[in-house]
C-alpha cells in the first residue's frame, strides 16, 4: 500500500491531467485509515471518507452534468442547439474560457464571442443615446429659432417701413434685403465679415437718405460715392451704427457659435460611439459574460470590478476624451448664458428695425448741418429739374417723411418658443454631460443585466470561477491600462480617430470661448480693433458700450452681381480725375487714417482757397 501511494506521488501531474487524482487519493486515504486508525477511530475514518468523496468530482460525474440551462439560454438568443452538448464535455478545445468541463463546443464559443461584442456595442450605444438625442434635438430647435428670428426681423422691417415710408422704402428695399441676405449667410456658416456687412449697409443707406432729405438736388453716382466715402467723419446717423454693430455682432457670433457647437457635439458623439472592438477586448468581454454560460451556470453575473476592468480596457481611448470634452461642455454652457443675457439674439434681431429707423430720424433732424458739410467737401450739386435751391421741402408740406415706431410693435418670439426657455432647457441637459466618457464604464457595469451588484462580491463570476474578484480596478484613459489584467492594451499606440476627435473638440471650444467675448475666430485679424468684443465687455447688458470707431477695416468681399440690384447700375471703382479723393480704386473703403478736414465756417476764404484743390 505504501509503495502504491509513493507511485501516485511521483506521477502526480500525470494523474492530475487524467482528472482521476481525487478518486485515487480518496481510495488511498481509506486504505491507510483502515490499517492504522480504523480499529481505534472507526466513526472518524468513515466521516472523512464520506466528506472526501462528496467534495470530489469524478470524471463520470462531471461529464454527466446536464447542460439544459446552457442550451435553453443559447436557444433564447436565437442560436441552434445542434452543436450544443447535452451534458458537460472536456474543455480542452476552448480558447477563451477556462478549459474545465464545459457545455460549449468550439463553434458555440466563437458564436458567443461575437455575441459579446454585439452586446458591448449595444450597451455603449444605449448609454450614449441621450447625448446624441440631446445634441440633435437642441441643435434643431436653436437653428429653427435663430433662422425664424431673422425672418421675423426682416418681415417686421418691411411691414413697418412700407407703412411709414411707402414708395420711398419700396424703391430702396434692395438695400435692406441685401443686409438680411448677408446676415443669413453669416449665420449659416458663410465666409462673411459682419462688421463689413454692416458698414456697407450704412454706406448705401446714407446715399439713399441723403438724396431723400435733399430732393431739390440731383446727385450723380460720383457725388453719392463721395458722400458715403466720408460718412465716418460726417457721422450722419450719430452713434446708432456703432451701437447696432456691437449688439448685432455679439449676438450673431454667439448664436452661430452655439448652433455650430451643438452640431459638432452631435457629430463627435456619433463618431466616438461607432466602435470596433479589438480582439483583446472581445476576449475580455467573452470571459466575463459568456464563460459562466459555458460552465453551466448562466445565472451567475460577472463581478462588478471585473466588469469595470474589461470596460475600461475596451473604452481606453474614449476615456482620453474627458478633459477636452469637459472644456467643451463648459464653453457651451457659458455661451448659452451669454445668449440669455448680454448677447440676447431676440433683442438684437428685434433692434435692427428700431435702430435703423432711429438712424434715419437722426439724419433727417440734422440734415441741414450734414448737407452743409457735404456741399463743402464734395462740391455744390446740380439742382433737380423744376426745383430751386431755395425749396428744400419735399412734397407733402410739413409732413415728416420719417418716423420711429415703438418697441411694442416688434416681434418677441419665434418657432413657437422663446430664447429663455430654450437656453434653460439646454443648460439642464448639459450639466449631466460632464464626465461622461470616464463614467461610461461605471454606467454600463451598474446595469444589473450586465454585472453583479457591488454588494455581491463573493458569489459573482471572477473570470475563472464563482468567487471574489481580487485584482485592483484600473484608472481612466489609455495610459492607465498598462497593467489591466483583463484586456491587454498597447498604450504606445493611441487611436488616430480619437486624437482627431480631441482636436475637433479643441477647435470648437476655442470658437465658443471667443464667442463669449464677441469675437469671431474666422475674422479676428480683420476685426480685432472694431469694438466687436474682447476684454470683459460681455458683462454689460445694454448696447451703449464705450465708443470705438463705427467702422472696421474691410475684408475682401466679392463684388455683388449687377443683376441682383437692377435699380442701381454697377459702379466703376477706379476713376481718374473725379472730384472725390482717390483711394487706390478701392471704392467703399472706410479708411480711418485718411481724415478729410471740413471747414465749418464758409467765410474763411483763405483756408477754403487752400482746401479747394482737393475737391477737384
The residue with greater pLDDT, 406 or 304, is 304
The DSSP result for 139-201, as a single string, is HHHHHHHHHHHHHHHHHHHHHHHHHHHTHHHHTTHHHHHHHHHHHHHHHTT-S--HHHHHHHH
pLDDT higher than threshold 50 for residue 3: no
pLDDT higher than threshold 80 for residue 529: no
Mean pLDDT to the nearest integer, 245-257: 95
Q: Domain boundaries in the chain?
A: 2-56, 572-616
Torsions phi, psi of 96, nearest 5?
-110, -40
What is the Cα–Cα distance from 580 to 573, expressed in whole angstroms? Answer: 12
Return the closest-CA partner of residue 488 out of 275, 276, 281, 277: 281
pLDDT cut 70: percent of the chain above it: 69
What is the Cα–Cα distance from 32 to 28, expressed in whole angstroms? Answer: 6
Q: How many CB atoms lie within 10 A of CB 572?
A: 10
The residue with greater pLDDT, 117 or 36, is 117
Mean pLDDT to the nearest integer, 515-519: 92
pLDDT higher than threshold 50 for residue 310: yes
The residue with greater pLDDT, 426 or 583, is 426
SS (H, E, C) 464-533: CCECCCCCCCCCCCCHHHCCCCCCCCCCCCCCHHHHHHHHHHHHHHHHHHHHCCCCCHHHHHHHCCCCCC
pLDDT higher than threshold 50 for residue 540: no
Contacts 24+ apart (CB under 8 A), 5-14: 5/32
Return the top range by mean pLDDT from 54-68, 311-325, 565-579. 311-325
Residue 87, beta-bridge partner list: 66
pLDDT band at 392 (very low <50, low <70, confident <90, very high): very low
- Give the pLDDT of residue 436: 97
Mean pLDDT to the nearest integer, 350-370: 92
The DSSP result for 124-143, as a single string, is HHHHHHHHHHHHHHHHHHHH
As a whole number, the mean pLDDT across the chain is 77
pLDDT higher than threshold 50 for residue 22: no
Three-state DSSP at 67 gives coil
pLDDT higher than threshold 80 for residue 183: yes
Left if phi > 0, otherwise alpha if psi is -120 to 50, otherwise beta: which for 98? Answer: beta
- Give the pLDDT of residue 382: 86
Return the closest-CA partner of residue 161 out of 402, 348, 323: 402
Mean pLDDT to the nearest integer, 192-218: 91
Mean pLDDT to the nearest integer, 163-178: 89
Mean pLDDT to the nearest integer, 218-244: 90
Three-state DSSP at 587 gives coil
Q: What contacts 340, CB < 8 A, 6 or more positions away?
A: 419, 420, 423, 424
- Give the pLDDT of residue 416: 67
Mean pLDDT to the nearest integer, 154-172: 89
- Give the pLDDT of residue 385: 78
What the block records as the C-alpha cell of 593 is 487714417
- Give the pLDDT of residue 232: 83
pTM of the model: 0.72
- Give the pLDDT of residue 29: 41
Contacts 24+ apart (CB under 8 A), 207-211: 208/172, 208/175, 209/236, 209/360, 209/363, 209/364, 210/236, 210/363, 210/370, 210/371, 210/374
- Give the pLDDT of residue 413: 53
Mean pLDDT to the nearest integer, 332-361: 93
- Give the pLDDT of residue 457: 86
What the block records as the C-alpha cell of 327 is 472644456
pLDDT higher than threshold 90 for residue 70: yes
- Give the pLDDT of residue 451: 95
pLDDT higher than threshold 80 for residue 53: no
Q: Are 83 and 108 in contact (CB under 8 A)?
A: yes
The residue with greater pLDDT, 449 or 606, is 449
pLDDT band at 521 (very low <50, low <70, confident <90, very high): confident
Q: Are 176 and 157 in contact (CB under 8 A)?
A: yes
Question: Using one digit for the tens of pLDDT, what is the confidence trace for 424-465?
Answer: 999 999 999 999 999 999 999 999 999 999 988 889 999 999
Amino acid at each position: 500500500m505504501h509503495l502504491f501511494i509513493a507511485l501516485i506521488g511521483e506521477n502526480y501531474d500525470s494523474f492530475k491531467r487524467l482528472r482521476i487524482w481525487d478518486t485515487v487519493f480518496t481510495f488511498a486515504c481509506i486504505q491507510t485509515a483502515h490499517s492504522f486508525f480504523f480499529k481505534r477511530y472507526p466513526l472518524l475514518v468513515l466521516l472523512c471518507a464520506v466528506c472526501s468523496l462528496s467534495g470530489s468530482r469524478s470524471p463520470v460525474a462531471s461529464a454527466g452534468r446536464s447542460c439544459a440551462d446552457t442550451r435553453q439560454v443559447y436557444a433564447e438568443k436565437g442560436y441552434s442547439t445542434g452543436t450544443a452538448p447535452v451534458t458537460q464535455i472536456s474543455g480542452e478545445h476552448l480558447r477563451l474560457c477556462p478549459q474545465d468541463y464545459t457545455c460549449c463546443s468550439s463553434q458555440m464559443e466563437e458564436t458567443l464571442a461575437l455575441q459579446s461584442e454585439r452586446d458591448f456595442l449595444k450597451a455603449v450605444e444605449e448609454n450614449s443615446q441621450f447625448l446624441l438625442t440631446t445634441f440633435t434635438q437642441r441643435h434643431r430647435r436653436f437653428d429653427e429659432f435663430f433662422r425664424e428670428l431673422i425672418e421675423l426681423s426682416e418681415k417686421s422691417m418691411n411691414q413697418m417701413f412700407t407703412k411709414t415710408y411707402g414708395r420711398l422704402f419700396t424703391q430702396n428695399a434692395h438695400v435692406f434685403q441685401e443686409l438680411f441676405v448677408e446676415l443669413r449667410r453669416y449665420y449659416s456658416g458663410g465666409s462673411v465679415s459682419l462688421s463689413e456687412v454692416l458698414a456697407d449697409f450704412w454706406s448705401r443707406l446714407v446715399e439713399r437718405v441723403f438724396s431723400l432729405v435733399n430732393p431739390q438736388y440731383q446727385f450723380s453716382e460720383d457725388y453719392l460715392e463721395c458722400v458715403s466715402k466720408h460718412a465716418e467723419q460726417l457721422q450722419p446717423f450719430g452713434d446708432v451704427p456703432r451701437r447696432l454693430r456691437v449688439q448685432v455682432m455679439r449676438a450673431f457670433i454667439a448664436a452661430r457659435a452655439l448652433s455650430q457647437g451643438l452640431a459638432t457635439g452631435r457629430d463627435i458623439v456619433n463618431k466616438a460611439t461607432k466602435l470596433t472592438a479589438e480582439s483583446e477586448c472581445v476576449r475580455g468581454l467573452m470571459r466575463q459574460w459568456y464563460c459562466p454560460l459555458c460552465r453551466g451556470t448562466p445565472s451567475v453575473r460577472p463581478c462588478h470590478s471585473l466588469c469595470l476592468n474589461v470596460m475600461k480596457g475596451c473604452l481606453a481611448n474614449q476615456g482620453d476624451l474627458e478633459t477636452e470634452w469637459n472644456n467643451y461642455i463648459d464653453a457651451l454652457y457659458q455661451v448659452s448664458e451669454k445668449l440669455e443675457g448680454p448677447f440676447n439674439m431676440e433683442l438684437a434681431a428685434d433692434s435692427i428695425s428700431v435702430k435703423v429707423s432711429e438712424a434715419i430720424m437722426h439724419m433727417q433732424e440734422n440734415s441741414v448741418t450734414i448737407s452743409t458739410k457735404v456741399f463743402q467737401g464734395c462740391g455744390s450739386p446740380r439742382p433737380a429739374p423744376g426745383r430751386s435751391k431755395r425749396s428744400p421741402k419735399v412734397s407733402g408740406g410739413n409732413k415728416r417723411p420719417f418716423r420711429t415706431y415703438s418697441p411694442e410693435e416688434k416681434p418677441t418670439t419665434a418657432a413657437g418658443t422663446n430664447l429663455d426657455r430654450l437656453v434653460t432647457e439646454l443648460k439642464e441637459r448639459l450639466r449631466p454631460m460632464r464626465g461622461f466618457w470616464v463614467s461610461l464604464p461605471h454606467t454600463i457595469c451598474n446595469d444589473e443585466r450586465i454585472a453583479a451588484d457591488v454588494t455581491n462580491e463573493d458569489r459573482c463570476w471572477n473570470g475563472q470561477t464563482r468567487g471574489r474578484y481580487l485584482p485592483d480596478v484600473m484608472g481612466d484613459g489609455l495610459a492607465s491600462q498598462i497593467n489591466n489584467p483583463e484586456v491587454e492594451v498597447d498604450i504606445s499606440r493611441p487611436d488616430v480617430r480619437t486624437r482627431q476627435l480631441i482636436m475637433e473638440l479643441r477647435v470648437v471650444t476655442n470658437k465658443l470661448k471667443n464667442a463669449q467675448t464677441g469675437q469671431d475666430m474666422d475674422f479676428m485679424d480683420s476685426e480685432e480693433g472694431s469694438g466687436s468684443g474682447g476684454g470683459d465687455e460681455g458683462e454689460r447688458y445694454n448696447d451703449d458700450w464705450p465708443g470705438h470707431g463705427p467702422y472696421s477695416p474691410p475684408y475682401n468681399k466679392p463684388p455683388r452681381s449687377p443683376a441682383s440690384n437692377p435699380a442701381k447700375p454697377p459702379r466703376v471703382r477706379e476713376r481718374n480725375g473725379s472730384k472725390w479723393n482717390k483711394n487706390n480704386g478701392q471704392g467703399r473703403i472706410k479708411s480711418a487714417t485718411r481724415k478729410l478736414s471740413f471747414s465749418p465756417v464758409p467765410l474763411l476764404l483763405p483756408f477754403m482757397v487752400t482746401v479747394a484743390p482737393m475737391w477737384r
